[in-house]
Structure 1
Amino acid sequence: QFPVALGVSASGEPLEMLQEFPNYVAEANPAIAAIGVTSLLIMFLWPLVGARVKFLKPIPAPMVVLLVAIPMGMGFDLLHEHSYHLQNHEYQLGEQYLVRMPDRPFGMFDDITFPNFHALQEFKAWKWVMMFFIIGSLESLLSAKAIDLLDPWKRKTNLDRDMVAVGVGNLVAASVGGLPMISEIVRSKANIDNGARTRFADMWHGIFLLLCVALFPTVLHRIPLAALAAMLVYTGYRLAHPSEFVHVYRIGREQLAIFVTTLVAVLATDLLIGIAIGIALKMIIHVVNGVPLKALFKPYIEVEEIDDKTCRIVASESAVFSNWIPLRRQIEQIGLVQHRNLIVDVSNANLVDHTTIEKLEEMQRDFEQEGLKLEIVGLDTLVPLSDSSHAARRRGLASVRRITIVADSSLEEWLEQELVGRGATGFTAEACVGAGRRDIATGQITKHPQVRIEVIVLPQVAESILAFLNSEVKPQHRVTVCVETVQVVRVGEFEPDNGDSGH
Structure 2
Amino acid sequence: MFKTLKNDLPASVVVFFVALPLCLGIALASGAPLFSGLIAGIIGGIVVGGLSGSKIGVSGPAAGLAAIVLTAIGALGGYQNFLLAVVLGGIIQIVFGILKAGVIGYYFPSSVIKGMLTGIGIIIILKQIPHFFGYDADPEGDFAFFQVDGQNTFSEIFMAFNNISLGSTLIAVIGLGVLLLWDKVLTKKSKIFQIIQGPLVAVILGILFFVFTKDNETFKISAKHLVSVPIPEDAASFLAQFSFPNFGAITNPEIWITAFTIALVASLETLLCVEATDKLDPDKNVTPTNRELLAQGTGNIISGLIGGLPITQVIVRSSANIQSGGKSKMSTIIHGFLLLISVILIPKLLNMVPLSVLAAILFIVGFKLAKPALFKKMYDLGWKQSVPFFVTVFGIVFTDLLMGIGLGLAVGIVVILLKSYQNSHFLHIEDNSNGKHRIKMTLAEEVTFFNKGAILKELDSLPRDTYLELNLLNTRYLDNDIIEILEDFSIKAKERNIDIKLVSKRGIVENPTSYIDFFNERPKSNISLS
TM-score range, shorter chain: 0.5 to 0.7
Out of 261, 264, 269, the position equivalent to 2:394 is 264
Q: Which residue of 1 aligns with 2:131?
A: 4
Distance of 2:300 and 2:218 partners within structure 1: 45
Counterpart Cα distance in 2 of 1:157 and 1:245: 27
Q: Give the equivalent residue in structure 2 for 1:23.
A: 159
Corresponding position of 2:210: 73
> Which entry has the higher C-alpha Rg, 1 or 2?
1
Q: Which residue of 2 aligns with 1:62?
A: 199
Specify whether residues 163 and 286 from structure 1 end up closer, same or farther in structure 2 by C-alpha distance, changes over 3 A only. Answer: same
| One-letter code aligned to 2:208 | P
Deviation of 1:245 after TM superposition, in Å, equals 1.7
Structure with the largest fraction of strand: 1
Runs of 5+ unmatched residues, structure 2: 1-127, 147-151, 425-443, 451-473, 478-530
1:285-342 per-residue CA deviation (whole Å, 9 max, x = no partner) reads 1222234899xxxxxxxxxxxxxxxxxxx96249x9xxxxxxxxxxxxxxxxxxxxxx
The answer for the alignment partner of 1:234 in structure 2 is: 364
Bigger relative contact order, structure 1 or 2 (CA pairs below 8 A, ≥6 apart): 2
Measured against aligned partners, the alpha-carbon deviations of 1:394-439 in whole angstroms (never above 9, x if no partner) come to xxxxxxxxxxxxxxxxxxxxxxxxxxxxxxxxxxxxxxxxxxxxxx
1:222-245 Cα deviation digits (max 9, x unpaired)? 222222222222211211111222
Partner of 1:43: 179
Distance in 2 between residues matched to 1:235 and 1:214, nearest whole Å: 28
Residue 103 of structure 1, CA deviation: 4.4
Deviation of residue 185 (structure 1)? 1.4
Q: Separation in 1 of the partners of 2:356 and 2:234?
A: 24
Is 1:190 paired with 2:320?
A: yes
1:97 paired to 2:226: yes
Q: Would you tell me which structure has more helix in proportion to its own residues? A: 2
CA distance, structure 2, for counterparts of residue 286 and residue 185 of structure 1: 27
Task: State the Cα distance separating 1:349 from its structure 2 match.
Answer: 9.7
Matched, 1:201 2:331: yes
Cα gap change, 1:206/1:20 in structure 2, threshold over 3 Å: closer, same or farther? closer
Aligned to 2:407: 277
**CA contact under 8 A between 1:259 and 1:278: conserved in structure 2?**
yes
Q: What do the CA deviations read for 1:92-146 (whole angstroms, capped 9, x no partner)?
A: 8225622324246866433111112344454544443333222211111111110
Answering whether residue 354 of structure 2 is matched by residue 224 of structure 1, we say yes
Contact kept in structure 2, 1:99 and 1:225, CA below 8 Å: no
* One-letter identity of the residue aligned with 1:7: G
Shift of 1:208: 2.6
Is the Cα contact below 8 Å between 2:226 and 2:352 reproduced in 1? Answer: no
When normalised by structure 1's length, the TM-score is: 0.53
Q: TM-score, normalised by structure 2?
A: 0.50
In terms of mean alpha carbon deviation, does 154-163 or 241-250 score higher?
241-250
Give 1:168 shift: 0.9
Q: 1-side partners of 2:230 and 2:327: how far apart? A: 31
Alignment map for 1:483-494 (pairs within 5 Å): none
Aligned to 2:281: 151
The one-letter code matched in structure 2 to 1:9 is D
- SS at 1:214's partner residue? helix
Q: Cα–Cα, structure 1 residues 151 and 105, in superposed 2: closer, same or farther, change >3 Å? A: farther
For structure 1, list consecutive stretches of 5 or more residues without a partner in the other structure.
295-313, 321-346, 351-503
| Cα-to-partner distance string for 1:20-78 (whole Å, 9 max, x where unaligned) | 4232122122222223333233323321231553255312121111121111122233x
Structure 1 pair 114–184 and aligned structure 2 pair: CA distance change class (3 A): same
Find the aligned partners of 2:268 and 2:167 in 1 and give their Cα distance.
Answer: 39
Q: 2:342 aligns with which of 198, 212, 222?
A: 212
Deviations 1:133-162 (A, max 9, x none): 222111111111101101112121111111
- 2:86 maps to none
Alignment-derived partner of residue 14 in structure 1: 145
CA displacement at 1:265 relative to structure 2: 0.9
Percentage identity across paired residues of the two chains: 28
Cα RMSD (Å): 3.3
Q: Distance in 1 between matches of 2:228 and 2:476?
A: 56
